[in-house]
Structure 1
Protein backbone atom coordinates (compact mmCIF):
# COMPACT_ATOMS: atom_id res chain seq x y z
CA UNK A 1 0.00 0.00 0.00
CA UNK A 2 1.29 3.46 -0.90
CA UNK A 3 2.57 5.71 1.88
CA UNK A 4 0.09 8.58 2.22
CA UNK A 5 1.14 11.01 4.91
CA UNK A 6 -0.28 14.23 6.34
CA UNK A 7 2.00 17.11 7.26
CA UNK A 8 1.38 20.67 8.53
CA UNK A 9 -2.37 19.96 8.57
CA UNK A 10 -2.47 18.94 4.89
CA UNK A 11 -3.67 15.48 3.88
CA UNK A 12 -3.31 14.31 0.26
CA UNK A 13 -6.52 14.14 -1.78
CA UNK A 14 -6.71 11.30 -4.29
CA UNK A 15 -9.30 11.26 -7.10
CA UNK A 16 -11.44 8.34 -8.20
CA UNK A 17 -9.99 5.35 -10.02
CA UNK A 18 -6.35 6.16 -9.28
CA UNK A 19 -3.65 3.53 -9.06
CA UNK A 20 -0.98 4.08 -6.40
CA UNK A 21 1.92 1.61 -6.50
CA UNK A 22 2.80 -0.15 -3.26
CA UNK A 23 5.83 2.00 -2.52
CA UNK A 24 4.69 5.33 -3.97
CA UNK A 25 4.91 8.17 -1.42
CA UNK A 26 2.39 11.01 -1.34
CA UNK A 27 2.86 13.64 1.36
CA UNK A 28 1.03 16.80 2.42
CA UNK A 29 -0.64 19.36 0.19
CA UNK A 30 -1.14 17.12 -2.85
CA UNK A 31 -4.30 16.85 -4.94
CA UNK A 32 -4.49 14.14 -7.61
CA UNK A 33 -7.32 14.08 -10.17
CA UNK A 34 -9.22 11.10 -11.56
CA UNK A 35 -7.78 8.10 -13.42
CA UNK A 36 -4.18 8.87 -12.48
CA UNK A 37 -1.34 6.47 -11.75
CA UNK A 38 1.57 7.04 -9.40
CA UNK A 39 4.18 4.35 -9.98
CA UNK A 40 6.83 2.52 -7.98
CA UNK A 41 9.21 4.66 -5.92
CA UNK A 42 7.58 7.90 -7.08
CA UNK A 43 7.57 10.63 -4.43
CA UNK A 44 5.10 13.53 -4.41
CA UNK A 45 6.30 15.72 -1.55
CA UNK A 46 3.81 18.47 -0.84
CA UNK A 47 5.34 19.30 2.52
CA UNK A 48 6.56 22.83 1.77
CA UNK A 49 4.10 23.91 -0.93
CA UNK A 50 1.26 22.73 -3.19
CA UNK A 51 1.23 19.95 -5.79
CA UNK A 52 -1.85 19.82 -8.08
CA UNK A 53 -2.29 17.06 -10.65
CA UNK A 54 -5.11 16.89 -13.22
CA UNK A 55 -6.93 13.87 -14.65
CA UNK A 56 -5.35 10.90 -16.49
CA UNK A 57 -1.82 11.78 -15.44
CA UNK A 58 0.88 9.17 -14.95
CA UNK A 59 3.88 9.82 -12.74
CA UNK A 60 6.27 7.01 -13.59
CA UNK A 61 8.73 5.02 -11.49
CA UNK A 62 11.30 6.91 -9.45
CA UNK A 63 10.03 10.39 -10.24
CA UNK A 64 10.16 13.12 -7.58
CA UNK A 65 7.82 16.10 -7.41
CA UNK A 66 8.72 18.82 -4.91
CA UNK A 67 8.49 22.60 -4.49
CA UNK A 68 10.29 25.58 -3.01
CA UNK A 69 8.83 26.92 0.22
CA UNK A 70 6.78 30.03 -0.44
CA UNK A 71 8.11 30.41 -3.99
CA UNK A 72 7.04 27.62 -6.34
CA UNK A 73 4.32 25.00 -6.76
CA UNK A 74 3.86 21.98 -9.01
CA UNK A 75 0.87 22.13 -11.36
CA UNK A 76 0.20 19.38 -13.89
CA UNK A 77 -2.69 19.51 -16.36
CA UNK A 78 -4.70 16.63 -17.83
CA UNK A 79 -3.37 13.74 -19.95
CA UNK A 80 0.26 14.34 -18.98
CA UNK A 81 2.95 11.65 -18.84
CA UNK A 82 5.92 12.18 -16.53
CA UNK A 83 8.58 9.62 -17.48
CA UNK A 84 10.72 7.44 -15.24
CA UNK A 85 13.14 9.18 -12.86
CA UNK A 86 11.99 12.72 -13.62
CA UNK A 87 12.55 15.53 -11.13
CA UNK A 88 9.83 18.20 -11.27
CA UNK A 89 10.73 20.97 -8.82
CA UNK A 90 8.15 23.73 -8.72
CA UNK A 91 7.22 23.52 -12.41
CA UNK A 92 3.96 23.83 -14.36
CA UNK A 93 3.15 21.27 -17.05
CA UNK A 94 0.11 22.01 -19.21
CA UNK A 95 -2.34 19.52 -20.77
CA UNK A 96 -1.15 16.73 -23.05
CA UNK A 97 2.56 17.36 -22.48
CA UNK A 98 5.15 14.61 -22.20
CA UNK A 99 8.14 14.86 -19.87
CA UNK A 100 10.85 12.42 -20.97
CA UNK A 101 12.68 9.96 -18.76
CA UNK A 102 15.43 11.28 -16.51
CA UNK A 103 14.71 14.93 -17.20
CA UNK A 104 14.85 17.68 -14.59
CA UNK A 105 12.57 20.73 -14.56
CA UNK A 106 13.50 23.43 -12.08
CA UNK A 107 11.47 26.11 -10.30
CA UNK A 108 8.96 28.17 -12.26
CA UNK A 109 9.43 26.30 -15.53
CA UNK A 110 6.31 26.34 -17.71
CA UNK A 111 5.78 23.53 -20.22
CA UNK A 112 3.09 24.48 -22.74
CA UNK A 113 0.25 22.32 -23.98
CA UNK A 114 1.34 19.38 -26.11
CA UNK A 115 5.05 20.12 -25.62
CA UNK A 116 7.68 17.40 -25.27
CA UNK A 117 10.71 17.59 -23.01
CA UNK A 118 13.24 15.06 -24.29
CA UNK A 119 14.74 12.36 -22.09
CA UNK A 120 17.65 13.56 -19.96
CA UNK A 121 16.94 17.27 -20.48
CA UNK A 122 17.78 19.87 -17.84
CA UNK A 123 15.23 22.69 -18.03
CA UNK A 124 16.60 25.66 -16.10
CA UNK A 125 14.50 27.75 -13.71
CA UNK A 126 12.05 30.24 -15.24
CA UNK A 127 12.21 28.68 -18.74
CA UNK A 128 8.98 28.89 -20.76
CA UNK A 129 8.50 26.08 -23.26
CA UNK A 130 5.97 27.09 -25.89
CA UNK A 131 3.05 24.79 -26.74
CA UNK A 132 3.72 22.09 -29.35
CA UNK A 133 7.49 22.36 -29.25
CA UNK A 134 10.23 19.90 -28.36
CA UNK A 135 13.07 20.84 -26.06
CA UNK A 136 16.10 18.80 -25.04
CA UNK A 137 19.71 18.93 -23.96
CA UNK A 138 21.71 20.19 -20.99
CA UNK A 139 20.73 22.92 -20.54
CA UNK A 140 17.53 22.36 -22.49
CA UNK A 141 16.98 24.37 -25.66
CA UNK A 142 14.38 24.53 -28.41
CA UNK A 143 14.72 21.67 -30.92
CA UNK A 144 11.69 21.92 -33.18
CA UNK A 145 7.99 22.63 -33.52
CA UNK A 146 5.62 19.67 -33.29
CA UNK A 147 2.45 19.18 -35.30
CA UNK A 148 -0.40 19.55 -32.75
CA UNK A 149 -2.23 16.43 -33.99
CA UNK A 150 0.94 14.30 -33.81
CA UNK A 151 1.63 15.59 -30.31
CA UNK A 152 -1.92 14.87 -29.20
CA UNK A 153 -1.83 11.35 -30.68
CA UNK A 154 1.54 10.48 -29.08
CA UNK A 155 0.82 11.98 -25.68
CA UNK A 156 -2.70 10.59 -25.39
CA UNK A 157 -1.52 7.15 -26.56
CA UNK A 158 1.08 7.20 -23.77
CA UNK A 159 -1.43 8.41 -21.17
CA UNK A 160 -3.99 5.79 -22.28
CA UNK A 161 -1.31 3.09 -22.12
CA UNK A 162 -0.71 3.92 -18.48
CA UNK A 163 -4.45 3.68 -17.77
CA UNK A 164 -4.28 0.13 -19.16
CA UNK A 165 -1.15 -0.74 -17.14
CA UNK A 166 -2.82 0.51 -13.97
CA UNK A 167 -5.78 -1.78 -14.69
CA UNK A 168 -3.39 -4.75 -14.93
CA UNK A 169 -2.03 -4.02 -11.46
CA UNK A 170 -5.45 -3.37 -9.94
CA UNK A 171 -6.65 -6.70 -11.36
CA UNK A 172 -3.61 -8.52 -9.98
CA UNK A 173 -3.98 -6.82 -6.58
CA UNK A 174 -7.60 -7.96 -6.37
CA UNK A 175 -6.45 -11.59 -6.76
CA UNK A 176 -3.97 -11.38 -3.89
CA UNK A 177 -5.03 -12.63 -0.48
CA UNK A 178 -5.18 -9.97 2.20
CA UNK A 179 -2.06 -9.76 4.41
CA UNK A 180 -4.06 -11.15 7.33
CA UNK A 181 -4.95 -14.33 5.45
CA UNK A 182 -1.37 -15.13 4.39
CA UNK A 183 0.36 -17.95 6.17
CA UNK A 184 4.02 -17.54 7.11
CA UNK A 185 6.09 -20.66 6.60
Structure 2
Protein backbone atom coordinates (compact mmCIF):
# COMPACT_ATOMS: atom_id res chain seq x y z
CA UNK A 1 0.00 0.00 0.00
CA UNK A 2 1.06 3.56 -0.69
CA UNK A 3 0.38 6.18 1.98
CA UNK A 4 0.61 9.96 2.05
CA UNK A 5 2.12 11.52 5.17
CA UNK A 6 1.40 15.23 5.68
CA UNK A 7 2.24 16.87 2.33
CA UNK A 8 4.45 13.99 1.17
CA UNK A 9 3.20 11.47 -1.40
CA UNK A 10 5.56 8.70 -2.54
CA UNK A 11 6.89 8.95 -6.11
CA UNK A 12 7.05 5.53 -7.78
CA UNK A 13 8.26 4.88 -11.33
CA UNK A 14 5.76 3.03 -13.49
CA UNK A 15 8.20 0.12 -14.03
CA UNK A 16 8.60 -0.56 -10.29
CA UNK A 17 6.58 -3.25 -8.50
CA UNK A 18 5.42 -2.73 -4.93
CA UNK A 19 3.66 -5.67 -3.35
CA UNK A 20 0.30 -4.62 -1.89
CA UNK A 21 1.33 -6.09 1.47
CA UNK A 22 4.30 -3.70 1.63
CA UNK A 23 3.86 -0.24 3.16
CA UNK A 24 5.45 2.79 1.48
CA UNK A 25 4.82 6.01 3.37
CA UNK A 26 5.53 9.68 2.80
CA UNK A 27 8.70 11.21 1.37
CA UNK A 28 9.90 8.24 -0.70
CA UNK A 29 11.24 8.19 -4.27
CA UNK A 30 11.37 4.81 -6.03
CA UNK A 31 13.13 4.45 -9.38
CA UNK A 32 12.92 2.18 -12.40
CA UNK A 33 12.64 -1.62 -12.19
CA UNK A 34 12.61 -1.62 -8.39
CA UNK A 35 11.08 -4.61 -6.58
CA UNK A 36 9.53 -4.15 -3.12
CA UNK A 37 8.49 -7.44 -1.48
CA UNK A 38 5.59 -8.19 0.88
CA UNK A 39 6.04 -7.11 4.47
CA UNK A 40 8.55 -4.39 3.62
CA UNK A 41 8.09 -1.13 5.53
CA UNK A 42 9.57 1.93 3.80
CA UNK A 43 8.69 4.84 6.06
CA UNK A 44 9.55 8.35 4.92
CA UNK A 45 7.74 10.22 7.67
CA UNK A 46 10.60 11.88 9.57
CA UNK A 47 13.02 12.12 6.65
CA UNK A 48 13.48 11.13 3.02
CA UNK A 49 14.14 7.80 1.32
CA UNK A 50 15.64 7.57 -2.17
CA UNK A 51 15.65 4.15 -3.85
CA UNK A 52 17.44 4.39 -7.17
CA UNK A 53 16.93 2.35 -10.33
CA UNK A 54 17.34 -1.41 -10.21
CA UNK A 55 17.22 -1.85 -6.42
CA UNK A 56 15.32 -4.58 -4.66
CA UNK A 57 14.00 -4.54 -1.09
CA UNK A 58 12.92 -8.03 -0.18
CA UNK A 59 10.34 -9.43 2.22
CA UNK A 60 10.08 -7.94 5.72
CA UNK A 61 12.79 -5.30 5.28
CA UNK A 62 12.53 -2.01 7.17
CA UNK A 63 13.86 1.32 5.92
CA UNK A 64 13.59 4.32 8.27
CA UNK A 65 15.58 7.17 9.82
CA UNK A 66 15.90 9.74 12.59
CA UNK A 67 14.26 13.14 11.88
CA UNK A 68 15.82 15.17 9.08
CA UNK A 69 17.90 12.31 7.64
CA UNK A 70 17.88 11.00 4.05
CA UNK A 71 18.31 7.28 3.47
CA UNK A 72 19.86 6.67 0.07
CA UNK A 73 19.96 3.33 -1.73
CA UNK A 74 22.03 3.85 -4.86
CA UNK A 75 21.45 2.03 -8.15
CA UNK A 76 21.23 -1.77 -8.07
CA UNK A 77 21.44 -2.09 -4.28
CA UNK A 78 20.18 -5.50 -3.18
CA UNK A 79 18.57 -5.64 0.29
CA UNK A 80 18.07 -9.21 1.50
CA UNK A 81 15.10 -10.62 3.40
CA UNK A 82 14.50 -9.07 6.80
CA UNK A 83 17.30 -6.49 6.67
CA UNK A 84 17.00 -3.12 8.42
CA UNK A 85 18.44 0.07 6.95
CA UNK A 86 18.18 2.96 9.42
CA UNK A 87 19.50 6.32 8.27
CA UNK A 88 22.27 4.87 6.10
CA UNK A 89 23.66 5.34 2.60
CA UNK A 90 24.09 2.16 0.57
CA UNK A 91 26.43 2.42 -2.42
CA UNK A 92 25.83 1.25 -5.98
CA UNK A 93 25.50 -2.50 -6.54
CA UNK A 94 25.89 -3.36 -2.84
CA UNK A 95 24.46 -6.54 -1.33
CA UNK A 96 23.01 -6.42 2.19
CA UNK A 97 22.62 -9.95 3.53
CA UNK A 98 19.50 -11.34 5.13
CA UNK A 99 18.56 -10.00 8.59
CA UNK A 100 21.48 -7.57 8.69
CA UNK A 101 21.13 -4.23 10.48
CA UNK A 102 22.75 -1.09 9.04
CA UNK A 103 22.58 1.77 11.52
CA UNK A 104 22.48 5.57 11.38
CA UNK A 105 24.96 7.56 9.28
CA UNK A 106 26.64 4.43 7.94
CA UNK A 107 28.11 4.95 4.47
CA UNK A 108 28.87 1.93 2.31
CA UNK A 109 30.98 2.48 -0.78
CA UNK A 110 29.97 0.95 -4.10
CA UNK A 111 29.90 -2.84 -4.53
CA UNK A 112 30.22 -3.76 -0.85
CA UNK A 113 28.84 -7.08 0.35
CA UNK A 114 27.47 -7.37 3.90
CA UNK A 115 27.08 -10.89 5.25
CA UNK A 116 23.80 -12.19 6.62
CA UNK A 117 23.05 -11.34 10.28
CA UNK A 118 25.71 -8.62 10.38
CA UNK A 119 25.36 -5.49 12.53
CA UNK A 120 27.04 -2.30 11.32
CA UNK A 121 27.04 0.23 14.14
CA UNK A 122 26.27 3.93 13.64
CA UNK A 123 28.71 6.30 11.93
CA UNK A 124 30.81 3.58 10.27
CA UNK A 125 32.18 4.15 6.76
CA UNK A 126 33.44 1.41 4.46
CA UNK A 127 35.37 1.78 1.24
CA UNK A 128 34.10 0.34 -2.05
CA UNK A 129 34.40 -3.41 -2.53
CA UNK A 130 34.51 -4.22 1.20
CA UNK A 131 33.32 -7.64 2.39
CA UNK A 132 31.78 -6.91 5.79
CA UNK A 133 30.63 -9.49 8.34
CA UNK A 134 29.96 -9.95 12.05
CA UNK A 135 28.49 -8.25 15.12
CA UNK A 136 29.87 -5.65 15.32
CA UNK A 137 30.63 -5.91 11.61
CA UNK A 138 34.17 -5.55 10.29
CA UNK A 139 35.76 -5.62 6.87
CA UNK A 140 37.45 -8.99 6.40
CA UNK A 141 38.69 -8.66 2.81
CA UNK A 142 38.10 -7.10 -0.59
CA UNK A 143 35.19 -8.17 -2.78
CA UNK A 144 36.60 -9.95 -5.82
CA UNK A 145 35.47 -9.52 -9.42
CA UNK A 146 33.98 -13.01 -9.23
CA UNK A 147 31.98 -12.18 -6.11
CA UNK A 148 30.55 -8.95 -7.52
CA UNK A 149 29.73 -10.76 -10.77
CA UNK A 150 27.76 -13.34 -8.77
CA UNK A 151 25.98 -10.57 -6.86
CA UNK A 152 25.13 -8.68 -10.06
CA UNK A 153 23.66 -11.80 -11.63
CA UNK A 154 21.33 -12.26 -8.67
CA UNK A 155 20.25 -8.62 -8.75
CA UNK A 156 19.43 -8.92 -12.45
CA UNK A 157 16.89 -11.63 -11.59
CA UNK A 158 15.17 -9.18 -9.24
CA UNK A 159 15.25 -6.46 -11.91
CA UNK A 160 13.28 -8.77 -14.21
CA UNK A 161 10.79 -9.61 -11.45
CA UNK A 162 8.64 -6.42 -11.52
CA UNK A 163 7.63 -7.04 -15.14
CA UNK A 164 7.05 -10.75 -14.47
CA UNK A 165 4.89 -9.91 -11.47
CA UNK A 166 2.73 -7.58 -13.54
CA UNK A 167 2.23 -10.29 -16.17
CA UNK A 168 1.83 -13.43 -14.07
CA UNK A 169 1.05 -12.55 -10.45
CA UNK A 170 -2.55 -12.64 -9.25
CA UNK A 171 -4.56 -13.71 -6.25
CA UNK A 172 -6.03 -17.19 -6.50
CA UNK A 173 -7.79 -19.95 -4.62
CA UNK A 174 -5.57 -22.88 -3.59
CA UNK A 175 -5.77 -26.29 -5.24
CA UNK A 176 -7.03 -29.08 -2.96
CA UNK A 177 -4.79 -31.80 -4.39
CA UNK A 178 -1.53 -32.00 -6.30
CA UNK A 179 -2.17 -31.93 -10.07
CA UNK A 180 -0.79 -34.73 -12.23
CA UNK A 181 1.87 -33.02 -14.36
CA UNK A 182 5.25 -34.07 -15.65
CA UNK A 183 8.46 -33.38 -13.72
CA UNK A 184 9.84 -31.12 -16.45
CA UNK A 185 6.88 -28.79 -16.07
CA UNK A 186 7.36 -28.68 -12.32
CA UNK A 187 10.92 -27.46 -12.86
CA UNK A 188 9.68 -24.24 -14.45
CA UNK A 189 12.80 -22.27 -13.51
CA UNK A 190 15.31 -24.73 -14.94
CA UNK A 191 16.54 -22.22 -17.51
CA UNK A 192 17.22 -19.54 -14.86
CA UNK A 193 18.66 -21.51 -11.95
CA UNK A 194 20.90 -19.44 -9.71
CA UNK A 195 23.71 -20.90 -7.65
CA UNK A 196 24.81 -19.86 -4.19
CA UNK A 197 28.29 -18.36 -3.93
CA UNK A 198 29.63 -21.64 -2.50
CA UNK A 199 28.09 -23.67 -5.31
CA UNK A 200 29.59 -21.35 -7.92
CA UNK A 201 33.06 -21.55 -6.33
CA UNK A 202 32.85 -25.34 -6.18
CA UNK A 203 31.96 -25.56 -9.86
CA UNK A 204 34.78 -23.18 -10.79
CA UNK A 205 37.27 -25.24 -8.79
CA UNK A 206 36.18 -28.29 -10.74
- After TM superposition, the score normalised by the length of structure 2 is 0.80
Out of 39, 44, 47, the residue aligned to residue 45 of structure 2 is: 47
Secondary structure of the equivalent of 1:84?
coil
Query: CA shift at 1:164, angstroms?
Result: 2.8
Instruction: Note the alpha carbon deviations across 1:131-182, whole angstroms, 9 max, x for none.
Output: 00101101101111112x3343123212111123333322223x669xxxxx
Indicate the residue corresponding to 1:183 in structure 2.
Answer: none
Supply the distance in 1 between the matched residues of 2:162 and 2:4 (Cα, whole angstroms): 25
Counting only pairs closer than 5 Å after superposition, residues 1-185 of structure 1 correspond to structure 2 as: 3-70=1-68, 72-147=69-144, 149-173=145-169
CA contact (8 A) 1:18 1:37 kept: yes
Indicate the residue corresponding to 1:180 in structure 2.
Answer: none
* Structure with max Cα Rg: 2
Supply the distance in 1 between the matched residues of 2:92 and 2:147 (Cα, whole angstroms): 11
Supply the distance in 2 between the matched residues of 1:164 and 1:15 (Cα, whole angstroms): 15
CA contact (8 A) 1:92 1:108 kept: yes
Indicate the residue corresponding to 1:182 in structure 2.
Answer: none
The alignment's C-alpha RMSD in Å is: 1.5
Supply the distance in 1 between the matched residues of 2:14 and 2:162 (Cα, whole angstroms): 13
Indicate the residue corresponding to 1:181 in structure 2.
Answer: none
- Of 152-161 and 107-116, more deviation after overlay is shown by 152-161
Secondary structure of the equivalent of 2:110?
coil
CA contact (8 A) 1:79 1:155 kept: no
> Deviating runs (4+, > 4 A) in structure 1?
none
Give the length in aligned residue pairs.
Answer: 172
CA contact (8 A) 2:34 2:56 kept: yes
Segments of structure 1 that go 5 or more residues without pairing to the other structure are 178-185
